[in-house]
Amino acid sequence: MSIRRVLAATSAAVIAATGLVACSSDSAESENSGEAITKDSTITIGTTDANMEEWAVFQDLAKEAGFDVKLENFADYNTPNQALDQGKLTTNKFQHLKFLAEYNKGNGTDLVPLAATEIYPLAIYWKDHKDLADVEGQEVAIPNDSTNQGRAIGLLVQEGLVTLKEGSPLTPTPLDIDEKKSKVKVTPVDAAQTPAAYGEGKPAVINNSFLERAGIDPQSAVAQDDPDSTEAEPYINVWAVRADDADNETLHELAKLWKDQKVTDAVLKSSGDTAVAVDRSQEELQEILDRLEEQV
């Protein structure tokens, strides 16, 4: 497993605005399904963050490389996979492997990873503290949604703050915590409320997407999960495609543009220096997805 830290040596200026082009269902489906995808095709990419600077940089690189790329932005997390499965998108890039596995199992779809992008580490923030030295006995707020709750508990286990009961599942819940053997009390709250807990002086596991709006410095984390660990594998973000397009050379060539240093710099900037680039083969990603689907 080779995961490299995204380094900010010199950040190039990037275009801040992205033009979104929404396709009608009929035209999109004819362009994105049923025919081999080539550079002459219109490649429609689904995402939930098309306003981020990295997409503008990526679109410029794609145009220079001869691709006809259109972005379609979605306001929720389920529709991009539905649209991809229906052939209304060529590919999408918004999710990690765990989310993809849960979607496939819940909807009977066969969407697969094309290439890896980044991991966004989940971290513990504690106002006016630089480490966890005095955390024993504290109440720690964690997100209560199914995607982040188990990951947050895993982070607390990694830091030696929580002990799980014997035989706990891969994705634990608060019921799996052995409270008598744990050093802290865990309190699940709505993910959007974790910054409020931080503001009250409580240690809190806060998702990266809430940091900027709460005015929290991403670099002020007192601990974060290890992106190189096996436990982090489910949270590798990926390009996803239909199974029939898994070996498409045009899409593989397009996905490689996301690894360009200009895109990397933009991702680093928009993530507050927290993003970690991932270098895993498609075969490795598929193995992880298969394992996760068996566990769902």
Average pLDDT, integer, range 272-293: 97
If asked whether residues 15 and 104 sit together in one domain, one would say yes
What per-residue confidence (pLDDT) applies to 246? Answer: 98
Res 15 pLDDT > 50:
no
Q: What does the pLDDT read at residue 28? A: 46
Shared domain check, 46 and 132 = no
Indicate the helix (H) or strand (E) that contains 294. Answer: helix 282-295
Which residues face 254 on adjacent strands?
Answer: none
| 175-213 residue pLDDT tens | 999 999 999 999 999 999 999 999 999 999 999 889 988
Question: Is pLDDT at 223 greater than 60 in this prediction?
Answer: yes
pLDDT value at position 141? 99
Q: Quick one: CA torsion of 179, 180, 181, 186, rounded to 10 degrees?
A: 20
Q: What is the DSSP string of 54-71?
A: HHHHHHHHHHHTT-EEEE
Whether residue 229 lies inside any domain: the answer is no
* CATH number, domain with residue 181: 3.40.190.10
Residue 93 included in any domain: yes
Q: Same structural domain for residues 54 and 22? A: yes
In this predicted structure, the answer to whether residue 5 has a pLDDT above a threshold of 60 is: no
pLDDT score recorded for residue 209: 83
- For the cut 60, the answer to whether the pLDDT of residue 230 exceeds it is yes
Kindly state whether residues 245 and 201 are assigned to the same domain: no
For residue 99, the model assigns a pLDDT of 94
**Are both 246 and 106 inside the same structural domain?**
yes
251 contact partners, CB below 8 Å, separation of at least 6: 37, 43, 90, 91, 114, 239, 241, 245
Q: How far apart are CA 138 and CA 182, in angstroms?
A: 11
Domain C-terminal end among 224, 247, 268: 224
Residue 261 sits in the same domain as residue 132? no
Per-residue pLDDT averaged across 11-26, rounded? 34
Of 224, 254, 273, the residue that ends a domain is 224
Instruction: Give the residue, 234 or 7, on which the prediction is more confident.
Output: 234
pLDDT greater than 80 at residue 11: no
Whether 99 maps to a domain, the answer reads yes
DSSP 206-228: E-GGGHHHHT--GGG-SEE--TT
One-character DSSP codes across 217-266: -GGG-SEE--TTSGGGGGG-EEEEEEGGGTT-HHHHHHHHGGGSHHHHHH
User: Structurally, how many domains does the chain consist of?
Assistant: 2
Report DSSP state, residue 51.
T
pLDDT at 3: 40
Contact 192, 169 (CB under 8 A): no
Q: Are residues 112 and 257 in the same domain?
A: yes
In a domain, 240, yes or no: yes
The pLDDT of residue 33 is 56
User: Is there a domain that residue 217 lies in?
Assistant: yes
How large a percentage of the chain has pLDDT more than 90?
A: 81
Sheet bearing 118-119, strands edge to edge = 2-5, 276-279, 118-119
| Residue 230 domain-assigned (yes or no) | no
What is the per-residue pLDDT across 85-120, written as a single tens digit (0 to 9) for each?
Answer: 999 999 999 999 999 999 999 999 999 999 999 999
Residue 196 lies in a domain: yes
Q: Mean pLDDT of all residues in the chain?
A: 90
Residue 139's domain spans which residues? 123-224
Do the Cβ atoms of 272 and 211 come closer than 8 Å? Answer: yes
Mean pLDDT of 124-135: 98
At residue 147, the pLDDT reads 79
Domain end residue (candidates: 186, 204, 224) = 224
What does the pLDDT look like over 29-79, one tens digit per residue? Answer: 445 655 789 999 999 999 999 999 999 999 999 999 999 999 999 999 989
Question: Is 57 found in the same domain as 92?
Answer: yes
Do 133 and 46 belong to one domain? no
pTM for the model: 0.82
% the chain with pLDDT above 70: 88
Q: What is the pLDDT of residues 138-156, one digit of tens each?
A: 999 999 988 799 999 999 9
Distance, CA of 52 to CA of 39 (rounded, Å): 25
Does residue 103 sit in the same domain as residue 250?
A: yes
User: Which of 14-18, 167-171, 261-265 is the least confident region?
Assistant: 14-18
Same domain membership, residue 94 and residue 10: yes
- Are 154 and 99 in the same domain? no
